Amino acid sequence: MTVFGDLIGQDRAIDVMRRAASAAAEVVAGGRGAGMTHAWLFTGPALRTAAATAFAASLLCPDQGCGHCDACHQVEVGSHPDVTFVRPEGLSYSVRQTRDLVLKAAGAPTLGRWRIVLFEDADRVTEAAANALLKAIEEPPLRTVWLLCAPSPDDMIITIRSRCRVVTLGTPSTEAVANVLVTRDGVPHDVALDAARAAQGDIGRARRLALDEETRRRRDEVLSIPRSLTGVAECITAAERLVKTSTEDADAATTALNEAETAELRKVYGEGSSGKGLNKGLVRGGAGAIKELETMQKSRATRIKRDSLDLALLELVAFYRDVLAVQFGAPVELANEDRRHEVEAVARASTPEQTVRRTDAIMQCRERLAANVNPQIAVEAMTLALRSPA
């Protein structure tokens, strides 16, 4: 199987990447390589990083993405010396980090083909960082390729977007995602179908829903909210529960990692070293670095908390989308087919206008959270709006 094998339902994008990989091979051989460009933007609801990773492997593979050679394997596991994976862990990616990355990207490839920068969540760059990134994309070194990933083209500033070749990825069909879960993970077909519908084309999310009981439990908690908002007290309680769950997610994901990072940095600056005065001096000299690490860790925890909360809000959006589909009798697949009776109950108890207002309230909550409004206040306003019949 080639490196593009996991990109189910993406035939058009795969064709574009195959042609570009062939053009890149021509460039390496001294040809013109028409069709190859040095800046790419991968967008779509899912598979963005997977597609960019596969493309990176095809550029570095002698056979343009065979899936079996050392180059393909190294790119897949993230160890290829010519591929830099950038994963912004905090709320944003700063201008200083971007400038450091630009300097690193300017170096020659180690193995003589391409130096590739794969930038996940490129939409998280600050305005100043985007300007620094723009200059690197405008005037890249001859053998440097930038692969940017963002949910949609509009998430990147137009000056960057206009200088990139955009690859738009579609949403895989439910049956295609379910088939992956059945054949590769041994998931029963009915369970795989429910997970695939709920994940709406995101294979990683579908796999977690199918295999992880905790993920399913948290989804059930979120989807129980619409029927539970019978009064103001219930709205406040639901909001507290959502925010608390996202905080617990962030704590679980960061506690052990934070401790390991801090211990490693202290070790680098001499903590535990022998010699009179050596330990104190080096640790004191590294105080600034440790403080900077703690700031990054706090930002990362906030991002994980926000992402967890945003995922819950998107689950609610999908629920009310299903409600609206039932209200209009639309012949579409429900993301929450496994909870059809609840969807139909809410549809009967409300009007399409109310459903649209509730969906708008959820989207407004997402906008407020992105603008750093206090999560508890933003979510409480949303749950009260979901209860309101007006």
22 and 159 co-located in one domain: yes
User: Stretch 203-218: mean pLDDT, rounded?
Assistant: 91
Q: Compute CA distances 258 → 100, 230, 252, 290, 295, whole Å.
A: 23, 40, 11, 11, 11
Q: How confident is the model at residue 388 (pLDDT cuts 50, 70, 90)?
A: low
Residues 31 and 125 in one domain: yes
Q: Are residues 307 and 198 in the same domain?
A: no
Task: Report if residue 225 sits inside a domain.
Answer: no
Going by pLDDT thresholds of 50, 70 and 90, the confidence category of residue 132 is confident
Q: Are residues 116 and 239 in the same domain?
A: no
- Domain assignment present for 5: no
Domain boundary among 168, 194, 210: 168
What percent of the chain shows pLDDT beyond 70?
A: 93
Confidence of residue 274 (pLDDT cuts 50, 70, 90): low
pLDDT at residue 276 is higher than 70: no
Q: What is the pTM of this model?
A: 0.82
Q: Are residues 16 and 97 in the same domain?
A: yes
pLDDT at residue 63 above 80? yes
pLDDT surpasses 90 at 281: no
Number of domains in the chain: 3
- In this predicted structure, what is the pLDDT of residue 31? 66
- Between 353 and 140, residue with greater pLDDT: 353
378 in the same domain as 308: yes
Same domain (yes/no): 182, 164: no
Compute and round to an integer the Cα radius of gyration of the chain: 24
Instruction: For residue 266, give both structure tokens.
Output: 């202290």
Give the residue numbers spanning the domain of 154: 10-168
- The predicted model gives 134-162 an average pLDDT of 90
Identify the pLDDT of residue 321: 97
Is 186 found in the same domain as 154?
no
What is the CATH number for 89? 3.40.50.300
Residues 36 and 157 grouped into a single domain: yes
For residues 45 and 40, give the distance between their C-alpha atoms in angstroms, rounded to a whole number. Answer: 17
Q: Which two tokens stand for residue 150?
A: 């963002």
For residues 371 and 260, membership in a common domain is answered with yes
Among 71-75, 82-86, 245-249, the minimum mean pLDDT is found in 245-249
Q: Which carries the bigger pLDDT value, residue 96 or residue 289? A: 96
Q: Domain for residue 39, yes or no?
A: yes
State residue 95's pLDDT score: 85
- pLDDT at residue 85 is higher than 90: yes
- pLDDT value at position 174? 92
Pick from 100-104, 142-146, 230-234 the range whose average pLDDT is largest. 230-234
pLDDT of 282 > 60? The answer is no
Enumerate residues 6+ apart whose C-beta is below 8 A from 255: none
- Residue 21 · residue 116 · CB < 8 Å: no
Could you tell me if residue 317 is inside a domain? yes
Q: What is the mean pLDDT of residues 351-375?
A: 95
In a domain, 255, yes or no: yes
Over range 23-32, report the average pLDDT. Answer: 80
Confidence bin at 147 (pLDDT 50/70/90): very high
Q: Across all residues in the chain, what is the average pLDDT?
A: 88
Per-residue pLDDT, averaged over 300-314, amounts to 88
Buried b (16+ CB within 10 A) or exposed e, 99-133: bebbeebeeebeeebbbbbbbbbbbbbeeebbebb
Buried b (16+ CB within 10 A) or exposed e, 136-155: bbeebeebbbbbbbbeeeeb
Do 279 and 373 belong to one domain?
A: yes
Burial of 34 (0-12, 13-18, 19+ CB in 10 A): exposed
- The pLDDT tens digits of the residues spanning 215-256 come to 899 999 999 999 999 999 999 999 999 999 888 877 877 787
For the ranges 130-134, 264-268, 364-368, the one whose mean pLDDT is highest: 364-368
| More confident position, 14 or 267 | 14
Closest Cα to residue 45, out of 139, 162, 138, 173? 173
Output the pLDDT for position 94: 82
265: number of Cβ within 10 Å: 17
Half-sphere exposure of 161 (CA within 13 A, CB side): 12
CB atoms near residue 157 (< 10 Å): 15
Same domain (yes/no): 149, 208: no
pLDDT for 83 equals: 94
Q: Position of tokens 């690193």?
A: 104
Residue at 158: amino acid letter = I
Percent of the chain residues past pLDDT 90, beyond the cut:
57
284 belongs to a structural domain: yes
C-alpha span between 304 and 43 (Å, rounded): 21
Flag whether 1 is in a domain: no
Instruction: Let me know if residue 3 belongs to a domain.
Output: no
- Contact predicate 353/327, CB 8 Å: no
